[in-house]
Structure formats: structure tokens, C-alpha cells
Structure 1
């Protein structure tokens, strides 16, 4: 990254390098989880070096060379999360709400409907019936949030009429062996928001690493 060429386009490798530094900063106690998530979102949305540079401007360089921390996910981990029968076929919210989150199995097609209400489809800790699943969302004067974990490939094909489908995914490349999630459907005077966040288990891992480092410093 360079101050002389702030408009130079950043690569996926550049973004991932910054994301890794943010993960280290959380483990070191320099960032809390809210700051980490905000900066991670900004990292994956950044197009140029000039947009990436402020993300870690107030963080020191890593202490020294060494292997990068192991990531929680990967081809082996994904293989363990694909297969088995779906545990929920859909969700309905009519002037109310629904939520599918935690440990559940996403079927090949999950249908959800929100009318003057809201729904949440959280895939961060879910398993997947097949390597490709479809989340079909219909939102009429209501909204649906679809939350996916890092590494998953996401395709958004929804149609909005006086409403829309909002993508907050960044440019993170899919991981080998990760499932493909297709978000489709229809939004009328409503909205479907598709966003990427780290899982609760990853948050716990970062917190445990942070506590471990604090213990070593005492």
C-alpha cells in the first residue's frame, strides 16, 4: 500500500492482508468487536489503496514475521458442513417476525415471506443440504435479512419494485469447497438485505485468543 498512488486499484490479496491485520488487532486487544466488524466491512468494500489505507492507519505493524493465524474455515471444514436433510423449509412473518439462526441445516430451497413484518435468515453457523442452496425471499412492506459467513459464494438475483435487494458482501473471494448461496425473490415496498458477518464461533475464537495473549502478558 502506498501514499503516492492512492487511486491504484487494490487486489483481493491486498484486502485479505488488511483483514488479517484487523483479526490480529482484535486478538491483541486493540479493537473491540464492533470496531472490527465496521473496519472489516470497509476493507471488503474498498476499491483502491487510498480507501484501504485509513482502515489500519492507527494500528502498528505486526511485531514480526511469522505464519499467518489459522483460519476457522477451509475446504475441510466446509466438507463437514455440507450434507444431510434440511431442518426448516421456510419462514413466514405477517405483521410479526421469524428467525432461523444458530445450528440448523439449510435445505436446497428455503422460502421466506414477510408482509408488514420482518425475518432473519442467519447462515453463519448453519449446515447446508447441498453445495448450492437457494434462499427465496418475498418482502411486501416488510424486510428480510440474510446473513452469510465469510468464504461462502453469494449470488443475488432478486427484483425490487419500490423496494430492493441490498448487498453488503464486499469482494472477498469464495473459499475452496464452500457452498454457493443464491438469494432470489421479490421486494415490493420492502427490502431484502444480504450481508456478510463472522460467526459467533469465530467471535469466541478471537476473544479466547485475546484473553490468552493478555494472560501471557501478565
Structure 2
């Protein structure tokens, strides 16, 4: 089942709905859902108002193969992921020159532990994690500046553990928790 943001009674946004519809369409294309069931679940998704209603429409779908390593790489320029996106179990981010911004605050995180490996030359990086996430950046090696991260004093149990590793040449990593 998809792990949706913190409060299941919170109203959904259109991009949350779009992501859920895409997941259902993928299950149909893979033959896991009949045409009739697709119509029924699509109606549920399109009329849903809260995250719990979205989750119930996706409840019995098979697990996605999000356990593989995904790599985002550019030679120069900006790498940016924000909004609703599916975070793989292992994410490798490579950039020789440029900025990196990963916003996991509204991302779909289906794994209790997510490993993010940064291989950055120059440029700064910013990672926004969910409010209840536990962050471990001990395995990150920096060449020029230390990372900016303050551990949250109060953290609700059940949040994902985000482990950040790799190397950064010239630049700084800033990690912050989402406010909502």
C-alpha cells in the first residue's frame, strides 16, 4: 500500500490524485486490475477528498518495483525533484557542476529506509525531508564546507529513515524538515 503523507484525513491536492491515478493505470497495464475494477477504482480516486480515501482505492495493488537504484545525473545544471514523486529505495544523485534540490516533503516514500548517495563536484545541495523523518548524514564526506543540519528535538515515531552518503567537493548540503 502506498505510504501517503502524515495525516490521512488531510485533504488531497491534485498532484496527489494524479500520482494515485498513474499508479492505478500502471497496475491495469501490468494486468493486475480488470477493466471493471479499473473503472470502479478510478471513480474512487477521482471523487476522493482525503489521503485515506486514496489509500483505500490503492490498497490491494501489488507492490511496485521501487526497490531498485535510480540515478539522476547531469554534467552541469540543476537537478530538482519536488511535489509528489515516488522515492526509490536507493537514489543516486550525480552532478559535476550545478545545484541539487530534492524535496521529499510530499513525496511518496514506501520504504522505511531510503538511501541517498550524493556524488557532487561543485554547487550546493538542499534536501527537504518529511516532518517525521529521521536523518543520518554521517556517511557523507565533504571537501570544503560541512553540512547544515539540526536534528529535530521532537520526532513522531513511524517516519522514514533517510540515510545520506557519498561525497561533495565544493559546496554545502543543507538538510531541513518540512514544516507541514
> Match of 1:23?
none
> Match of 2:102?
121
Provide the rounded CA distance (Å) in 2 between the counterparts of 1:74 and 1:152.
Answer: 14
Q: Aligned with 1:166: secondary structure?
A: coil
Where in structure 2 are there 5+ consecutive unaligned residues? 11-50, 56-62
Offset of 1:100 from its aligned partner? 1.1
> Match of 1:137?
118
Offset of 1:74 from its aligned partner? 5.7
Task: Rate the CA distance shift 1:91–1:190 in 2: closer, same or farther, 3 A.
Answer: same
Please provide the CA RMSD for this pair.
3.0
- Structure with larger Rg: 1
> Match of 1:162?
144
Provide the rounded CA distance (Å) in 1 between the counterparts of 2:100 and 2:152.
Answer: 25
TM-score (norm 2): 0.59
Residues 25-46 of structure 1: CA deviation (Å, up to 9, x unaligned): xxxxxxxxxxxxxxxxxxxxxx
Residues 139-170 of structure 1: CA deviation (Å, up to 9, x unaligned): 21122211112111111121111233221x44
Which is strand-richer, 1 or 2?
Answer: 2
- Tell me how many residue pairs correspond in the alignment: 125
Q: Aligned with 1:176: secondary structure?
A: coil
TM-score (norm 1): 0.50
Which segment is superposed worse, 83-92 or 144-153?
Answer: 83-92
Where in structure 1 are there 5+ consecutive unaligned residues? 1-71, 203-218
> Match of 1:98?
79
